[in-house]
Every structure is written in structure tokens, then in C-alpha cells.
Structure 1
């Protein structure tokens, strides 16, 4: 049987420039996501001088800032981090949908990998679980996905 050519990304951040865009809203959760992403990238060889953290007010602003960073062509990848927690109004649904669509569209339009680390949770407890307790740290997962995508794209 013939072997199949496989392209896979190596989790090596050496030599890359990365931007993290993180919301200030719900910062008690988002700061844990940022910490996880930074730690992950540094453990995989990223030089701290090659990392920039950009703070935005909330999730709705994430796509615009990601688009601006991608258009600058100064970064190999971007990690978008935030937390939206459901309240009593439909505001949650609109913010989550538009932020998600905007980030995805930015990635497709620019060709810049964006790690999607926007938590969309029904409760504060769910957000805490996803920011470093029972459900792991979604900031780490977003950074890992972005890094692997960068390395896959380099081979295509």
C-alpha cells in the first residue's frame, strides 16, 4: 500500500511574531486566558519580544482590531481572547454571533491564522472552568491552534 503524504504543523513558535488581542470586559476571566496563551507560546519557543498584547473594550471590537493587525502584515498569527457571559437579554446572542463571524471573516480575508479564544458561556462558572480549571484553558488551545495553522500554511 502506498503511503499518504501528510502535512502537519509543528508546534514550534521560534522566529514568529504573534499578536494577542484580548478584551478588558470580564478581565478576571480573560487575564487567565492571556496568561495561558503567553505561557504556551513561550514554552514553544516564542521570544517575549516577538509578542504584543492589544487590549480592546469587549468582544464586539475583536474583529476590527484583528483585521487592522492582519492588514499590517507584521504578525505571523493572532490570538483573539475574550469572554461573553449570557445575561437576561438577547445582547449575548448578537455580540457572540457578530464577533465570531468577524474574526472568521478576518482570517479568511487576510490569510492570517487567528486562534479563536472567545468564550461564550451561560454562566460565570462555565467561564471559570474554561479559563484554567476543569475544562482546561481555552487561551492555551487558541494559541496552539493558531501556531499549528501557521506551520501548516508554511508547507502549502
Structure 2
């Protein structure tokens, strides 16, 4: 099967990679935990602190525009989106979840830069806390792996 993984090693070496992180402040305790785990994993993957740009925005709807600004700078090998959307009693949850997700994907495709989307969409705060640390670490791994893969493909 063409394109299938034929024993290709996953490349999780972040040395010399430049990573941009956009973190939503809304639900800040949870997004802070996402960021803490993400930054710890980037460090473990040998991404230098001086090569990480970490910016804050008000909420998940603002994440894509900040990602776009970072992508347009062409200074980053990969980007990471951090946020937390908790379902409420209105349709607003669906709007924010759908539009932020679509915006993140559009920026990635328009600028051909990998974006690890770690904007949690959960039913309640307990679910968010249960996922925050692993999702933050996972976002760092995805960003590094995809940056290395795209480097190999181009």
C-alpha cells in the first residue's frame, strides 16, 4: 500500500525546531495545565525554550487568528492550539467548538504548517481535568512528529 507506514520510525527529536503555542485564557486553570504539560513534553523532546513562542488569547474563537499571525511569520516548524470548551446549556458550545476547529484546520492547510489541535471539547469540568495533562503532552508530540515529517516530505 503506497503511503502506508512501512516501518518508518516516528521522529520525536525536537532539536532545532521552532514551535508556536497559542493558549486560550478562558477556563484558564485547565488551559494552564494543558500548557504546563505541553511545555514539559517539548522540553523532554529537546525543543529549546528560546525556540518556543507562547502567546495568550481570550478564548478558543481567537486561537485561529493568532495561529494565522504566527504561521504568516514563517518562523515556526509547527504550531500548537490550546483551549478548553465546556458544554453549557446553550448552542454556544457547538458554535465555539465547530468554528475554532474549522479555523485551526484552515490555518494549517492555508499555510502548510502542522498544527496540533489541543482545544478540549468536553461535557464538564471533570472531563477536562481528566484529559488536560495527556492532551497537552500529546500536542507537543504531534507538533514535533509532524514538523519532522513535513521536513522529510519537502
**TM-score, scaled relative to structure 1:** 0.92
Q: Secondary structure at the match of 1:120?
A: strand
Q: Which runs of 5+ in 2 are unaligned?
A: none
Equivalent positions of 1:23-62 (< 5 A) are: 23-62=24-63
Distance 1:53 1:88 in 2: 32
Give, in whole Å, the separation in 2 of the partners of 1:155 and 1:77. 14
CA distance in 2, matches of 1:10, 1:110: 22
Q: Tell me, which stretches of 5 or more residues in structure 1 are unaligned? A: none
Residue 150 of structure 1 is aligned with which of 141, 147, 151? 147
For residue 143 of structure 1, report the CA deviation from its aligned partner: 1.3
In the alignment, the residues of structure 1 paired with residue 7 and residue 130 of structure 2 have an alpha-carbon distance, to the nearest angstrom, of 35
Alpha-carbon offset, residue 20 of structure 1: 0.7
Distance 2:59 2:91 in 1: 16
Structure 2 CA distance, aligned partners of 1:87 and 1:20? 26
Q: Spell out the pairing of 1:73-88 with structure 2 (5 A cutoff).
A: 73-88=74-89
| Cα distance in structure 2, aligned partners of 1:64 and 1:9 | 30
Q: Which residue of 2 aligns with 1:97?
A: 98
Q: CA deviation at 1:90?
A: 0.4
In 2, the alpha carbon distance for the partners of 1:7 and 1:146 equals: 17
Whether contact under 8 Å (1:86, 1:123) holds in the other structure is yes
Q: Please list, as runs of the form range in 1=range in 2, the aligned pairs for 1:15-26 lying within 5 A after superposition.
A: 15-26=16-27
Aligned pairs, how many?
149
- TM-score (normalizing by structure 2): 0.93
Q: Which residue of the partner structure matches residue 106 of structure 1?
A: 107
